[in-house]
Structure 1
Amino acid sequence: MPNIFLAVLLLLNLLGNGCQGSRLASVASNRSNEKLLIEELISRYREKGLLGRPVKEYDNLVQIKFGLAFVQILDLDENKQLLRTNCWLRYQWRDHHLNWRNWSHPLFKNLTQIRVFPDLIWTPDIQLLNFADERLSERREARIVVYEDGSVLWVPQSLFKSTCPVEILHFPFDTQLCQLEFGSWTYDMTQMNITWYDYEITYDNNTQGLEPNPYIDYTNYIRSQEWRTDGEDEPGIWPSRRRLQIRSVVRCRTVTFQSADGKQYNRTYKTLRYRVLMRRSASFYLSILVLPCILLSCLTWVIFWLPPESPAKMQLGMNIFVAFFILMLLLAETTPSAVKNFPLIGYYYCLNMIMITLSTFLAVIVVNLHFGADRRAPLSPFVRQLVIEGIGRLYMVRQSIPLASHKPPPQQQLLSSQPQNQQHGSLATSPAQQHQPKLHMPQLKYNKFDSRRPSNAAEDSPILAGGHAGAVEKDVREVKRCLRMYLSRLKEKERKNVLAMEWRTFALILDRVFFSAYVMAILIAVISLIPRTHPKLEYSNEDQEFCR
């Protein structure tokens, strides 16, 4: 009887095993081994690790390796000071709840990796700390690769909008340093340790190795048309051999909390600060801001080359002033309004507008001096010697414009050297001349440069009577007075011409001096606009040891 009972139990056991084998066979035929493994792992994971960190003990740290790869720089908004980038994030950690290497089930023997959704397992809460996107979302949905030893790799694609302080002092030849700071939002350094992602390298003997990569990866980077980065010329180079790219740094932020009982305690969070150095491609701004500025500056020189009395001098100056004002408006639209430093090219525009205003003001002075010079007082000897004889000869103006001498004219010297008796019109003659026969001359009466004959016919004799000598002497005195008046007018006219020439020469020399000052100011402004290279930001040991 017992033998019969044992035989029945053995038969039932064999039937049960056959039914279970047929069930597994039917399940394996309906579902792939990967699906079975995912279901088995997720079912076990929900029982153990979904609600907490994937550690065996509470004091254990979760080691997270984080990396950042640039795909494209979309835009840098200078007005809002925001940087938009297309990036790939790389997370790597180990979850011992997802290890199936030691499983003995034959269905999972050849499976080395699977893909699961992020919401099915634990993921680190590493976020962009200087996040500035109003959408409050940064990642695209991407599955996680899980390996048989429990290693997890997650590479989501993200569109970041981060804050970036903009310095536009050297616009459009500026260089911007932007930072993307990543760190855990809730796990401090006692719970999570964030390190650099490992970069795979190949040595000379064809052996593979890993090296921490504290740089932004530019392997799949699409070059921007406006910005040149420091790392796009070094893709695929070992991290230890990079010379152009700025190394990222490790930072820590300490947050102070206050408990319900009033006690304060600090927590330190480790962050990775990725730095990117961007240089603006100024070809577009050269054509709309710099080139018109240079052409208008050269056209400003023409203002000084025009004659001082030309009305086009002021008209051209006002037109150039309006053109620079339009460039200022265009510059204001392309640069942020609330900035620490105003662009140097804006100062250059203002300098040109000031110089044009001064040149127009000087043109008014020159025109006034030119047309009203004959009514002004003469230049002082010091000013004449300094400006006309000194600076004028330096600018080759004194040689090209000869001025009259300040010595009295020869006619004045001749009149002043005459005897006193001749100035009074005496006709003293020698005794021999008194016995000569006198010619009869008509009586000359000076009346408005007119002469008339006397109406007395008795006086028409060939010999002048002695009583008429006084009348001739009076006429001669009238002629000499007219000559002196005429010479005085010539002298006054010559004096006014010399005075006008001096003032016009003085105005012309001032125009040349202002032109030289303008050229010097423009050269200094252009030299100050030469783009300066951004200082090399070296990686220091303080960054490396800061969070240890």
Structure 2
Amino acid sequence: MATVNQMLHTYTMWAFLLLMIGGTATSTQANISAQQRLMGDLMQYYNRILRPVFNASTVTTLVYGLALMQVIDVDEKNLRISLSVWLRQEWTDEFLRWNPADYDGIEVIRWPASLIWTPDIVLYNNVNDDFPEPVPTNALIHYDGSINWNVPMIFKCYCNIISLDYPFDNQKCDIVFGSWTYDIKEIDLHGKGDSADLSVYLESGEWILNGAPVRREVKHFNCCDVSYVRLIMTVDITRKPMYFLLNMLLPNVIIAFITVWGFFLPPGSGERTSLFITTFLSLIVFQQLVVNSIPPTSDHTPLISRYLTLLTLMVGLSCCLTIIVLHLYHHSAHVRPVPDWLFNLTQYYLSPCLCMGRQNKRSKSNNDVKSSVDSQSYRTNRKICWRKRSYNIRREENYSGPGSDNEERVDEQPKLPKSPAKEKLDAILECIEYLCSIQSTKQKKNESLKDWVLVTSVIDRIILIIVILLLATSTVAFLSR
């Protein structure tokens, strides 16, 4: 008896489990059948090639929205901009409508976009090798026929980069969308708002996004008799200049200021020209780095290129003027003395204005120095030669006269009897006079060289002031932009 009861209890449990499983399977089958039945009813006569309207004259209204995700890259050299965007498209498909009550209350279905008709919206100013293909995402289909299709995409399009104020430039890039085959009588394209959605935008380390307004434009092309609707999103961005200021501008300014400090080197050191040439070559290298990052156009010259060119010209001019100063500094008095007008201009007029002091009195003009030196040397040499000649004549002919009437006579000496002491004394006097003449000549030459040094110091100070003014003015003008 117990065995029979146990068997009945086992059969009852199995029967209950079978009923439970059967009820669940029946409910699931009912839901699947509703979705399958809905899909079968909608796709029975559906053709994804045809525009989804019952009447061909009906215009399909397409609402096109854009959410700007990120400014990936701005290629100034190739005039390109890369953007990450989310496309949000909304339209009505008259063939995809149903009554939710007939399909267990299903109001929204998610189908792959490849199964339904989608508008042929393309990026007009695309510069990628291939036109970007949308990601195969699902489209949300509502029971009233409205469709929402959101697609993430990366666009690479043309942008007219104006690098006039580089690196303080502001760029406005137009992103143009439109239907490739449907004109305004078939698809009426509208933007979703006056601006792109910036709520999901990720900040860039190089650019500041000022805005992304969207405008609608009806365009008539020469190829066709109909008009097409385009949407133009203008991406307004401003460059963050800190990177370029630290890595391009600051090194060039430091190099240019080294040129200023180079003028404090003494002209006689011989290192000033080498310093200026090294500075000149450094500026050329930095200028090549800037050239490689800007578009090769002749329509406008970037601000930083003009600034670097001015610095290069300034350093080159400083090098040329330094060579002139060194030439004057090492000028020899035997070649050309300092002209009076140049000495007076630099020492009596320019030197006080430059706070360099004033030369009170010039000992002699260089012309007077040269003439006095030449005449004195001539007289001394002739005097020595005459005395030697008179001494030889006196010894040979026992003649005590000073010389012939055709020669220039020296001071009359009293007639003395010949003695070795007198002969030695005359020779010593002649040597002393000769050494004095040589010393006088050297002194006059040194005074002339000193005049050249004074003149070159004033000219060097003038060049220094001009370089400082050019450097300060150009740098302030560059930074003020």
Give the shorter-chain TM-score range: 0.7 to 0.9
- Whether 2:330 is the aligned partner of 1:362: answer no
Following superposition, the deviation at residue 274 of structure 1 comes to 0.5
1:380-422 deviation line (CA, Å, top 9, x unaligned): 44433433322221112244x66634489xxxxxxxxxxxxxx
1:134 match:
129
Task: Tell me how far apart the structure 1 counterparts of residues 225 and 278 of structure 2 sit (CA, whole Å).
Answer: 65
Following superposition, the deviation at residue 348 of structure 1 comes to 2.6
Which residue type is aligned with residue 513 of structure 1? I
Which residue type is aligned with residue 404 of structure 1? R
Following superposition, the deviation at residue 71 of structure 1 comes to 1.2
Task: Tell me how far apart the structure 1 counterparts of residues 123 and 352 of structure 2 sit (CA, whole Å).
Answer: 70
1:98 match:
96
Which residue type is aligned with residue 530 of structure 1? L
Following superposition, the deviation at residue 163 of structure 1 comes to 0.8
SS at match of 1:219: coil
**Structure 1 length as normaliser, TM-score?**
0.67
CA contact (8 A) 1:72 1:224 kept: yes
SS at match of 2:292: helix
- Whether 2:140 is the aligned partner of 1:145: answer yes
CA contact (8 A) 2:256 2:315 kept: no
Picking from 210, 218, 225, the partner of 1:266 is 225
1:20 match:
none
CA contact (8 A) 2:175 2:233 kept: yes
SS at match of 1:519: helix
Task: Tell me how far apart the structure 2 counterparts of residues 468 and 362 of structure 1 sit (CA, whole Å).
Answer: 59
TM alignment of 1:112-511, pairs within 5 A: 112-197=107-192, 213-230=193-210, 245=211, 247-257=213-223, 266-338=225-297, 340-399=299-358, 404-406=362-364, 469=414, 493-511=442-460
Following superposition, the deviation at residue 62 of structure 1 comes to 1.4
Distance change >3 Å, CA 36–CA 391, structure 1 → 2 = farther
CA contact (8 A) 1:387 1:506 kept: yes
1:417-475 deviation line (CA, Å, top 9, x unaligned): xxxxxxxxxxxxxxxxxxxxxxxxxxxx9879x9xxx9xxxxxxxxxxxx984669x99
Following superposition, the deviation at residue 214 of structure 1 comes to 1.6
**Whose helix fraction is larger, Structure 1's or Structure 2's?**
2
CA contact (8 A) 1:403 1:502 kept: no
Which residue type is aligned with residue 251 of structure 1? E
CA contact (8 A) 1:228 1:280 kept: yes
Distance change >3 Å, CA 34–CA 514, structure 1 → 2 = farther
2:71 match:
73
Following superposition, the deviation at residue 69 of structure 1 comes to 0.9
1:43 match:
44
Following superposition, the deviation at residue 144 of structure 1 comes to 0.9
Aligned length: 412
SS at match of 1:45: coil
Following superposition, the deviation at residue 494 of structure 1 comes to 4.8
SS at match of 1:98: coil
| Superposition RMSD in Å | 3.5
CA contact (8 A) 1:64 1:194 kept: yes
Following superposition, the deviation at residue 190 of structure 1 comes to 1.9
Following superposition, the deviation at residue 484 of structure 1 comes to 8.7
1:530 match:
479
Picking from 51, 56, 59, the partner of 1:58 is 56
Following superposition, the deviation at residue 275 of structure 1 comes to 0.7
SS at match of 2:205: coil
Task: Tell me how far apart the structure 2 counterparts of residues 33 and 321 of structure 1 sit (CA, whole Å).
Answer: 82
CA contact (8 A) 1:139 1:156 kept: yes
Distance change >3 Å, CA 468–CA 184, structure 1 → 2 = closer
Task: Tell me how far apart the structure 2 counterparts of residues 364 and 336 of structure 1 sit (CA, whole Å).
Answer: 37
CA contact (8 A) 2:252 2:283 kept: yes
CA contact (8 A) 2:191 2:215 kept: no
Following superposition, the deviation at residue 183 of structure 1 comes to 0.9
**Structure 2 length as normaliser, TM-score?**
0.76
SS at match of 2:221: strand
Following superposition, the deviation at residue 104 of structure 1 comes to 4.9
Distance change >3 Å, CA 249–CA 504, structure 1 → 2 = farther
Task: Tell me how far apart the structure 2 counterparts of residues 273 and 142 of structure 1 sit (CA, whole Å).
Answer: 25
1:495-537 deviation line (CA, Å, top 9, x unaligned): 43343233222222222222222222222322332364xxxxx
More displaced stretch, 151-160 vs 477-486: 477-486
2:35 match:
34
1:213-270 deviation line (CA, Å, top 9, x unaligned): 221221111111122211xxxxxxxxxxxxxx3533322322223xxxxxxx522211
